[in-house]
Structure 1
Amino acid sequence: MRVDVCYATSSKAIWYKTCQLPDGACIADAVRASGFEREHPQVDWITAGVGLFGERCSPDTQLKDLDRVEIYRPLVFDPKESRRRRAQHRREKLLRGEVSNERSRR
Protein backbone atom coordinates (compact mmCIF):
# COMPACT_ATOMS: atom_id res chain seq x y z
CA MET A 1 0.00 0.00 0.00
CA ARG A 2 1.11 3.57 -0.59
CA VAL A 3 1.16 6.02 2.33
CA ASP A 4 2.28 9.64 2.56
CA VAL A 5 4.04 10.99 5.66
CA CYS A 6 4.21 14.75 6.22
CA TYR A 7 5.52 17.19 8.80
CA ALA A 8 5.27 20.97 8.77
CA THR A 9 8.83 22.05 9.57
CA SER A 10 7.57 25.63 9.81
CA SER A 11 4.45 27.58 8.91
CA LYS A 12 5.77 27.79 5.33
CA ALA A 13 7.69 24.55 4.74
CA ILE A 14 6.54 20.92 4.65
CA TRP A 15 8.61 17.74 4.76
CA TYR A 16 6.82 15.08 2.71
CA LYS A 17 7.62 11.46 1.80
CA THR A 18 5.70 8.69 0.08
CA CYS A 19 6.31 5.12 1.28
CA GLN A 20 5.35 1.66 0.11
CA LEU A 21 4.30 -0.49 3.06
CA PRO A 22 2.89 -4.00 3.46
CA ASP A 23 -0.77 -4.47 4.34
CA GLY A 24 -1.30 -4.28 8.10
CA ALA A 25 1.33 -1.58 8.62
CA CYS A 26 0.70 1.04 11.29
CA ILE A 27 1.54 4.72 11.68
CA ALA A 28 4.80 3.93 13.52
CA ASP A 29 5.88 1.70 10.60
CA ALA A 30 5.19 4.53 8.13
CA VAL A 31 7.14 7.09 10.16
CA ARG A 32 10.14 4.76 10.39
CA ALA A 33 9.99 3.78 6.70
CA SER A 34 9.81 7.44 5.67
CA GLY A 35 13.19 8.22 7.23
CA PHE A 36 11.65 10.95 9.39
CA GLU A 37 13.58 9.97 12.53
CA ARG A 38 16.86 10.06 10.62
CA GLU A 39 16.18 13.46 9.03
CA HIS A 40 14.62 15.06 12.12
CA PRO A 41 16.30 13.48 15.16
CA GLN A 42 15.40 16.49 17.32
CA VAL A 43 11.65 15.85 16.92
CA ASP A 44 9.97 13.46 19.36
CA TRP A 45 7.10 12.53 17.05
CA ILE A 46 5.39 10.27 19.59
CA THR A 47 5.14 13.08 22.16
CA ALA A 48 4.24 15.70 19.55
CA GLY A 49 1.48 13.48 18.20
CA VAL A 50 0.46 11.94 14.91
CA GLY A 51 -2.75 11.65 12.97
CA LEU A 52 -4.49 10.76 9.76
CA PHE A 53 -6.04 13.54 7.68
CA GLY A 54 -6.20 15.93 10.65
CA GLU A 55 -7.54 13.45 13.20
CA ARG A 56 -5.18 12.55 16.03
CA CYS A 57 -4.36 8.82 16.28
CA SER A 58 -2.04 6.55 18.20
CA PRO A 59 1.19 5.28 16.61
CA ASP A 60 -0.24 1.74 16.46
CA THR A 61 -3.23 2.76 14.31
CA GLN A 62 -3.41 0.56 11.22
CA LEU A 63 -3.15 2.26 7.85
CA LYS A 64 -5.07 1.92 4.61
CA ASP A 65 -3.86 2.53 1.09
CA LEU A 66 -3.44 6.25 0.28
CA ASP A 67 -3.57 7.39 3.93
CA ARG A 68 -1.72 10.57 4.87
CA VAL A 69 0.17 10.36 8.16
CA GLU A 70 0.67 13.76 9.75
CA ILE A 71 3.34 14.37 12.36
CA TYR A 72 2.29 17.29 14.51
CA ARG A 73 4.45 20.05 15.93
CA PRO A 74 4.21 20.99 19.59
CA LEU A 75 2.18 24.12 20.29
CA VAL A 76 4.25 27.27 20.54
CA PHE A 77 1.70 28.90 22.84
CA ASP A 78 -1.28 27.91 24.96
CA PRO A 79 -4.49 28.66 22.99
CA LYS A 80 -6.44 29.43 26.17
CA GLU A 81 -3.82 31.94 27.29
CA SER A 82 -3.85 33.54 23.85
CA ARG A 83 -7.66 33.99 24.01
CA ARG A 84 -7.37 35.52 27.48
CA ARG A 85 -4.79 38.03 26.24
CA ARG A 86 -6.94 39.01 23.24
CA ALA A 87 -9.99 39.47 25.48
CA GLN A 88 -7.99 41.60 27.91
CA HIS A 89 -6.66 43.69 25.04
CA ARG A 90 -10.22 44.25 23.74
CA ARG A 91 -11.44 45.25 27.22
CA GLU A 92 -8.62 47.75 27.56
CA LYS A 93 -9.37 49.26 24.13
CA LEU A 94 -13.06 49.46 25.02
CA LEU A 95 -12.31 51.29 28.26
CA ARG A 96 -10.17 53.78 26.33
CA GLY A 97 -13.03 54.27 23.84
CA GLU A 98 -11.06 52.91 20.89
CA VAL A 99 -13.54 50.15 20.02
CA SER A 100 -17.18 50.71 19.21
CA ASN A 101 -18.37 47.67 17.24
CA GLU A 102 -21.14 45.41 18.49
CA ARG A 103 -18.87 42.40 19.09
CA SER A 104 -16.73 44.21 21.66
CA ARG A 105 -19.79 45.10 23.79
CA ARG A 106 -20.50 41.52 24.80
Structure 2
Amino acid sequence: MADAERITVELAYAPAPRTVESMHAELAAGSTVRDALALWPQPEVQAWLAGGGTDESLQCGVWGRKASLDHVLRAQDRVELYRMLVVDPKVARRERFASQGARTVGLFARRRAGAKPGY
Protein backbone atom coordinates (compact mmCIF):
# COMPACT_ATOMS: atom_id res chain seq x y z
CA MET A 1 0.00 0.00 0.00
CA ALA A 2 3.05 2.26 0.26
CA ASP A 3 3.03 2.78 -3.54
CA ALA A 4 -0.36 4.53 -3.36
CA GLU A 5 1.07 7.06 -0.92
CA ARG A 6 4.02 8.03 -3.16
CA ILE A 7 4.11 9.34 -6.73
CA THR A 8 7.00 9.73 -9.15
CA VAL A 9 7.29 12.89 -11.24
CA GLU A 10 9.88 14.24 -13.65
CA LEU A 11 11.29 17.75 -13.31
CA ALA A 12 12.67 19.47 -16.42
CA TYR A 13 14.40 22.83 -16.79
CA ALA A 14 16.28 24.46 -19.67
CA PRO A 15 18.74 26.94 -18.10
CA ALA A 16 20.24 27.84 -21.49
CA PRO A 17 19.41 27.28 -25.17
CA ARG A 18 19.83 23.67 -26.31
CA THR A 19 20.38 22.52 -22.72
CA VAL A 20 17.81 20.54 -20.76
CA GLU A 21 18.33 19.29 -17.24
CA SER A 22 15.90 16.77 -15.81
CA MET A 23 15.53 14.61 -12.76
CA HIS A 24 12.99 12.22 -11.31
CA ALA A 25 11.54 12.82 -7.86
CA GLU A 26 9.41 10.74 -5.56
CA LEU A 27 6.82 12.76 -3.66
CA ALA A 28 3.91 12.13 -1.33
CA ALA A 29 0.51 11.80 -2.97
CA GLY A 30 -1.23 15.18 -3.04
CA SER A 31 2.02 17.13 -3.53
CA THR A 32 1.95 20.35 -5.52
CA VAL A 33 4.18 21.86 -8.20
CA ARG A 34 5.73 24.02 -5.48
CA ASP A 35 6.70 20.89 -3.49
CA ALA A 36 8.30 19.33 -6.56
CA LEU A 37 10.26 22.45 -7.51
CA ALA A 38 11.53 22.79 -3.94
CA LEU A 39 13.63 19.69 -4.67
CA TRP A 40 15.39 21.35 -7.61
CA PRO A 41 19.02 22.19 -6.66
CA GLN A 42 19.57 25.22 -8.95
CA PRO A 43 19.88 28.55 -7.06
CA GLU A 44 17.91 30.54 -9.66
CA VAL A 45 14.97 28.16 -9.31
CA GLN A 46 15.09 28.40 -5.52
CA ALA A 47 15.25 32.22 -5.71
CA TRP A 48 12.24 32.23 -8.05
CA LEU A 49 10.31 29.99 -5.64
CA ALA A 50 11.27 32.18 -2.67
CA GLY A 51 9.70 35.13 -4.49
CA GLY A 52 6.44 33.20 -4.75
CA GLY A 53 6.84 32.47 -8.45
CA THR A 54 5.64 35.96 -9.36
CA ASP A 55 8.89 36.98 -11.07
CA GLU A 56 8.38 36.90 -14.85
CA SER A 57 11.79 35.34 -15.54
CA LEU A 58 10.40 31.80 -15.28
CA GLN A 59 7.05 30.10 -15.72
CA CYS A 60 6.05 26.58 -14.80
CA GLY A 61 3.79 24.03 -16.39
CA VAL A 62 2.82 20.38 -16.38
CA TRP A 63 3.20 18.51 -19.66
CA GLY A 64 3.49 21.74 -21.67
CA ARG A 65 0.43 23.42 -20.16
CA LYS A 66 0.80 26.40 -17.85
CA ALA A 67 0.15 25.46 -14.22
CA SER A 68 0.10 27.33 -10.94
CA LEU A 69 2.42 26.48 -8.07
CA ASP A 70 -0.60 25.09 -6.18
CA HIS A 71 -1.49 22.57 -8.91
CA VAL A 72 -1.76 19.06 -7.41
CA LEU A 73 0.43 16.54 -9.19
CA ARG A 74 -0.48 13.05 -10.31
CA ALA A 75 1.79 10.06 -10.86
CA GLN A 76 4.09 10.31 -13.91
CA ASP A 77 3.53 14.07 -14.39
CA ARG A 78 6.31 16.12 -15.97
CA VAL A 79 6.86 19.48 -14.25
CA GLU A 80 8.58 21.94 -16.56
CA LEU A 81 10.17 25.34 -15.99
CA TYR A 82 10.19 27.71 -18.94
CA ARG A 83 12.46 30.69 -19.52
CA MET A 84 10.97 33.76 -21.13
CA LEU A 85 11.53 34.02 -24.88
CA VAL A 86 14.24 36.42 -26.00
CA VAL A 87 12.60 36.97 -29.40
CA ASP A 88 8.99 36.36 -30.41
CA PRO A 89 8.98 33.39 -32.87
CA LYS A 90 6.71 35.23 -35.32
CA VAL A 91 9.04 38.23 -35.43
CA ALA A 92 12.08 35.97 -35.86
CA ARG A 93 10.43 34.17 -38.79
CA ARG A 94 9.51 37.46 -40.48
CA GLU A 95 13.08 38.72 -40.10
CA ARG A 96 14.51 35.48 -41.50
CA PHE A 97 12.12 35.60 -44.44
CA ALA A 98 12.99 39.24 -45.15
CA SER A 99 16.73 38.56 -45.09
CA GLN A 100 16.51 35.42 -47.27
CA GLY A 101 14.08 36.81 -49.79
CA ALA A 102 10.94 35.24 -51.17
CA ARG A 103 12.68 33.35 -53.96
CA THR A 104 14.69 31.09 -51.67
CA VAL A 105 11.94 30.00 -49.27
CA GLY A 106 8.97 27.65 -49.40
CA LEU A 107 7.15 27.11 -52.71
CA PHE A 108 9.52 29.43 -54.52
CA ALA A 109 12.73 27.62 -53.55
CA ARG A 110 12.71 24.94 -56.28
CA ARG A 111 10.90 25.48 -59.55
CA ARG A 112 10.61 22.94 -62.29
CA ALA A 113 12.25 23.92 -65.54
CA GLY A 114 9.76 25.83 -67.67
CA ALA A 115 7.18 26.10 -64.89
CA LYS A 116 5.08 29.19 -64.30
CA PRO A 117 6.08 31.51 -61.43
CA GLY A 118 4.64 30.32 -58.12
CA TYR A 119 4.35 26.66 -59.15
Question: Which structure 1 residue ranges, 4+ long, deviate > 4 Å from structure 2?
Answer: none
- What TM-score, normalized by structure 1, do the two folds share? 0.70
Equivalent residue number for residue 61 of structure 1: 71
Structure whose residues are more often strand by fraction: 2
Q: Say whether 1:70 aligns with 2:75.
A: no
Cα deviation, 1:54-83, whole Å, max 9, x if unaligned, reads 122122111001111011111121223213
**Counterpart contact for 2:97–2:105, Cα < 8 Å:** no
Change (3 A) 1:67 1:85: same
Cα shift at 1:12: 3.2
Q: Specify which structure has the bigger relative contact order, considering alpha-carbon pairs within 8 angstroms and separated by 6 or more residues.
A: 1
Structure whose residues are more often helix by fraction: 1
**Identity level (%):** 27
> Counterparts of 2:31 and 2:104 in 1: how far apart (Å)?
56
Query: Match for 1:30 among 19, 36, 53?
Result: 36
Give the RMSD, CA atoms, in angstroms: 2.6
Equivalent residue number for residue 83 of structure 1: 93
Cα shift at 1:100: 6.7
> Counterparts of 2:86 and 2:36 in 1: how far apart (Å)?
26
Cα shift at 1:35: 2.6
Equivalent residue number for residue 40 of structure 1: 43
Equivalent residue number for residue 27 of structure 2: 21
Cα shift at 1:17: 2.1
Max Rg structure: 2
State how many pairs are aligned: 96
The one-letter amino acid paired with 1:4 is: E
> Counterparts of 1:101 and 1:29 in 2: how far apart (Å)?
47
> Counterparts of 2:29 and 2:66 in 1: how far apart (Å)?
21
Unaligned runs of 5+ in 1: none
Unaligned runs of 5+ in 2: 1-6, 109-117
